[in-house]
Amino acid sequence: MNLDFSDDQKQLQDQIRRFLSEKCTPAVVRSGLEGGEPFARDLYRGLAEMGVLGVAIPEAYGGVGLSHLELCLAAEELGRALAPVPVASSIYLAAEFLLQAGSEAQKKAWLPRLASGEAVGTFAFVEGQGRMTPDKVAAAVRDGRLSGAKSPVADGDIADLAIVAARSGAGRGEQAISLFLVELNGPGVTRETLASIDPTRSQARLAFEGAPAERLGGEGEGWAIASQVMDRAAILMAFEQVGGADRALSMARDYALDRMAFGRQIGSFQAIKHMLADMYVSATLARSNGYYGAWALASGSSELPVAAATARVSATQAFQHCAKNNIQVHGGMGFTWAFDCHLFYRRSNALALALGSLSTWEDMLITRLQGANTQAA
Amino acid sequence: MDFDDTPEEAAFRAEARAWIQANAPTHLEAELKRAGFASSGIESEDPMAASKAWQKKKAEAGWACLNWPKEYGGGARSPIERVIWGQEEGVYGSLSSPFIIGHGMCGPTVMAWASEDHKRRLLPPLASGEEIWCQLFSEPAGGSDLAGLRTSAVKADDGSGDWIINGQKIWTSGAQHSQWGLLITRTNPDAPKHKGLTMFFLSMSTPGVEVRPIKQANGQSGFNEVYFTDVRIPDDQRLGAVGQGWEVSLTTLMNERLSIGSGMSTGFPELFEFCLEAEVDGRPAVDDSAVRSRLAQFAVKQSGLKYTGMRAITALSKGETPGPENSIGKLVAGATMQELAMFALDLQGQAGVVQDESSPMNARFQQILMRSPATRIEGGSDEILRNIIGERVLGLPGDIRVDKDVPFRDIPTSGRK
């Protein structure tokens, strides 16, 4: 039994944490909030130079060639630091799509650029309100040209490459959907930055009018590939959420030790102490479920879909729980612009929706447990 | 990362499995598997006799109290081997329930504090199940506030050095089956409350000890009241110094929380199975979106506890001490099983009120509903556990104690404000 990361992996995590605590200062995180760009390019370059972006990308494609376990720990640190960088879009999603479904030429063309941070990728999937289903995909590709619109697309305004889910071919339902690589700096693409609950990360609307599109993976296989890649990304994002939850909890703990009221530290009041204990419980359950996900991701287990949904649901709840109660522990100061509490609150609620909402993942978890149950029987 | 045994662990597992297959009371397997929640399940023979027989067999072959030293009746095995044994013992492990308090709490306290002679006399029959122990701690006036206990121990005035005990204990599991008890008393009511306590052990057949079962809210009687009327205990049955009882009790309580919290089920697998079969509006319950959401919530708690446990086992496997994350076990499991039972009854509609053989899954959810309030209180209430997480794990300050430096006899109580 070894449900833990290795000493080497933990050492790498420490390095990343030290780097981020030095470079990812509150001013850097707040840039997007204060009207600047919600993308810390220097920080992103630094992460690329450390090998963080390419840590799980094979050396043949310009990566470091370690495993997804290292990427999980990097994700935890990015979440802890609220790093305003497009790692989720470009690495957990775009690079993962290329690794899982790309042709050799596509991998060679894009993975080195994503690993070096020279290019940023994203996944353009959602079209409007509600849970995404194949029927909601209106974007379509004909004769290698994409038309339609995607919104919101995380990092859509800064990305160079999008993997776009669009209709093509004669299939129905899920089989009507294929994936396409679209260069966002090319012709036929209009982008518009959207206001969002978390301006430390950008969201955009992408409109396509005959944009050149190159298929990624087989025709009609887009939905299945996307589902597989989003599971993998969900585990990585769960680690970001676990890192964020951990930091929100420690902020609240520190404040409860520091703040005096009624002649005593507020952390000595059971109302506060028990709130913090419950935050610790959520964060611990989420971390343990995350480890299960990390194991499934790194080992290629058939349990990966169950593990991904489990890690995702648990981590979403933990980060939301810790971030909202962090504000509560801080009292009125927690609701000021100057304190960082709202940054965690914003990020926790934005991440809760990225890759699909909590209720969507709850539903998927039960579907998958039913499947596992049928297989066992 | 993997869930595999090391070669040494695999060898131990194979050895344990082979012995269990050859020696376990397989004629009881079906009954044990069918067992309801909070009941032994054995009806074909005397359940206590069945428990004692299996424990004796294990002890003779060196499989009892695996992590205890051999000279005290244990197996001198590592903590990880004890965990593996538990996994392999499986359903037969529930036969050990009469011995849990003794093995998990009284034994470690005796081992830490008793004289060598006493350890050699008391521990082997405790390990082998020949003698059962109970823990005489809680009182009507001292539960979560254990140090508020009032049972008195006074030196006999005959110069014998003996102690005379008077008072009452409550919530004593298994006192009616026990040969021995671990007893905490107040020896100095003039000292602040934590400083005037002293620990003893005594034979439960000592004159003046009276055990009365408590009829619980769920109709069962697992707990007792124990009354002490001029009970005489020799001074050599004292554990630790006079006035050191609080420190001695911490040995017991640390072990209590570890042994109660580990490997607790939330009842989720049963709930999931039920939701596959039960119907809501003519469709399987599991197809209902509200049901799915609740199920997912329970699933991630169950899973989070499972993998938190595996992280602890990982630490043991590396020869390390498990981290503080283990302290969440009982807190999460207790509250979850209660919510889960209420949810299962809700799905049964108005018929959920019925608790008989017609109730789904042998009335398991009704049983959990009626037993789970105790889980949230026994062995450290939810509130005490949150204090422990807050103070020992997160490093928050303790509550301000108005009774801290006050002589015990001057502390206000419910009857004396």
The phi-psi region of residue A292 (left if phi > 0; otherwise alpha if psi is between -120 and 50; otherwise beta) is alpha
pLDDT over 80 (residue B54): yes
Cα separation, B65 vs B130, whole angstroms: 13
Cβ pair B300:A257 closer than 8 A: no
What pLDDT shows up at residue A377?
A: 55
CB contacts, 8 Å: B317 with chain A: 1-2
A225 within 8 A of A176, measured Cβ to Cβ: no
Cβ pair B325:A288 closer than 8 A: yes
Q: Known catalytic residues of B?
A: 256
User: How big is the A-B interface in CB pairs under 8 Å?
Assistant: 160
Radius of gyration of chain B (CA): 23
Cα separation, A283 vs A79, whole angstroms: 13
pLDDT cut 70: percent of chain B above it: 95
Q: Nearest Cβ partner of B304 from A272, A289, A361?
A: A289
B417 within 8 A of B195, measured Cβ to Cβ: no
What pLDDT shows up at residue B183?
A: 98
In a 10 Å sphere around its CB, with 0-12 CB exposed, 13-18 middle and 19+ buried, how is residue B197 labelled? buried
β-pairing verdict for A121-124 and A145-154: unpaired
Cα separation, A315 vs B238, whole angstroms: 50
Neighbours of A127 (CB within 10 A): 18
pLDDT over 90 (residue B133): yes
For the entire predicted model, the pTM comes to 0.94
A50 within 8 A of A74, measured Cβ to Cβ: no
Give the number of C-alpha atoms closer than 13 A to the C-alpha of residue B263, restricted to the C-beta side.
10
- B172 DSSP β-pair partners: B224
Query: Residue A234 contacts by C-beta under 8 Å, 6 or more apart in sequence?
Result: A293, A308, A309, A311, A312, A355, A361
Q: Tell me the per-residue pLDDT of B203-221, one tens digit each, with 9 for 90 and over.
A: 999 999 999 999 988 888 8
Q: Does A5 touch chain B (CB under 8 A)?
A: yes
Cα separation, B316 vs B303, whole angstroms: 20
Q: Tell me the per-residue pLDDT of B333-356, one tens digit each, with 9 for 90 and over.
A: 999 999 999 999 999 999 999 999
Arithmetic mean of pLDDT, B270-292: 92
Q: Nearest Cβ partner of A365 from B296, B306, B396?
A: B296
What pLDDT shows up at residue A284?
A: 97
Arithmetic mean of pLDDT, B99-112: 93
Cβ pair B1:A314 closer than 8 A: no
Q: Does A295 touch chain B (CB under 8 A)?
A: yes
Cβ pair B300:A365 closer than 8 A: yes
Cα separation, A114 vs B25, whole angstroms: 62
B183 within 8 A of B200, measured Cβ to Cβ: yes
From first to last of its 377 residues, chain A has per-residue pLDDT tens of 899 999 999 999 999 999 999 999 999 999 989 988 889 999 999 999 999 999 999 999 999 999 999 999 999 999 999 999 999 999 999 999 999 999 999 999 999 999 999 999 999 999 999 999 999 999 999 999 999 999 999 999 999 999 999 999 888 999 999 999 999 999 999 999 999 999 999 999 999 999 999 999 999 999 999 999 999 999 999 999 999 999 999 999 999 999 999 999 999 999 999 999 999 999 999 999 999 999 999 999 999 999 999 999 999 999 999 999 999 999 999 999 999 999 999 999 999 999 999 999 999 999 999 998 777 65
E-strand spans in chain A? Answer: 121-124, 140-142, 145-154, 161-167, 177-183, 189-194, 203-212, 214-216, 260-261, 264-265
pLDDT over 90 (residue B250): no
Cα separation, B417 vs B412, whole angstroms: 5
CA distance B270 to chain A (A): 12
Cβ pair A1:B317 closer than 8 A: yes
Query: Residue A131 contacts by C-beta under 8 Å, 6 or more apart in sequence?
Result: A356, A357, A359, A360
What pLDDT shows up at residue B417?
A: 57
Q: Does B395 touch chain A (CB under 8 A)?
A: yes
pLDDT over 70 (residue B255): no
Cβ pair B276:A294 closer than 8 A: no
A71 within 8 A of A91, measured Cβ to Cβ: yes
Q: Tell me the per-residue pLDDT of B134-155, one tens digit each, with 9 for 90 and over.
A: 999 999 988 888 899 999 999 9
Query: Residue A275 contacts by C-beta under 8 Å, 6 or more apart in sequence?
Result: A325, A328, A329
Cα separation, A210 vs A187, whole angstroms: 8
CA distance B336 to chain A (A): 13
What pLDDT shows up at residue B261?
A: 41
Q: Does A50 touch chain B (CB under 8 A)?
A: no
Tokens for A182, please give them.
């679209």
Q: Does B280 touch chain A (CB under 8 A)?
A: no
What pLDDT shows up at residue B144?
A: 86
Q: Does B308 touch chain A (CB under 8 A)?
A: yes
A237 within 8 A of A88, measured Cβ to Cβ: yes
What pLDDT shows up at residue B416?
A: 62
Give chain B's mean pLDDT.
91
* Closest A-chain CA to B398: A268
CB contacts, 8 Å: B404 with chain A: none
Arithmetic mean of pLDDT, B218-241: 94
pLDDT over 80 (residue B363): yes
What pLDDT shows up at residue B362?
A: 87
